[in-house]
Amino acid sequence: MNHSLLHPGIRLAFGQFCTRNLHLTSVCSRIQAGRVRSTKFRNKPISAEVAFWPEDIQHKKGWLSFNTSNLHGEKNAHQMAYEDMIIRQFLVGTFYRLLESEIVIKRRLNILDISVFVTSQTLVVKCNFLKAYSEEFLSKLLRYNVKLHLLVATTDDMIYKYV
């Protein structure tokens, strides 16, 4: 074999040469991501957030963030995504172990409506203080009018079905 025709990087130790082979496998169309496995006795509670399959979410469930900043030609479209992330992290830290489900953020003109389910074991005075604190802090931080809607729910109310 003429070694001068081969690329110098292909030569291996002891004079061996590597070859390239084409490997073909069958298509694996097994979709598992985003699906909750059912248990034997169907005793695992799940909320409505994870109950739907990923391909059915667009038809059966609303989005957690409503805004029109992603339209064609809008300036600073990325800013809304960062603000939503900051709002969610702030509220999870402020209402530590009090949140029952996901945080829903709606933007209407210059008003930011945030809806949150909290546990029923919390004191009303504590929730009112945290609500006022969060509204004021987010208003100063984001320069929007922020309205925080706290909805009281138990863990049994948040169960959508058992799998």
- In this structure, the number of other CB atoms found within 10 A of the CB of residue 135 comes to 16
Task: Give the 3-state secondary structure of residue 136.
Answer: helix
How far apart are the C-alpha atoms of 105 and 149, rounded to whole Å?
10
Q: Are strands 104-108 and 65-66 parallel, antiparallel or unpaired?
A: parallel
Tell me the Cα Rg of the chain. 26
Residue written as token pair 């059966």: 60
How far apart are the C-alpha atoms of 130 and 137, rounded to whole Å?
10
Is pTM beyond 0.75? Reply is no
Element (H, E) at 153: strand 145-153
How much of the chain exceeds pLDDT 90, in percent?
37
In CATH, the number for domain 45-162 is 3.30.300.20
Assess contact for 64 and 101: CB atoms under 8 A: no
**pLDDT greater at residue 160 or residue 11:** 160
In which band, very low, low, confident or very high, does the pLDDT at 111 lie, cut at 50, 70 and 90? very high
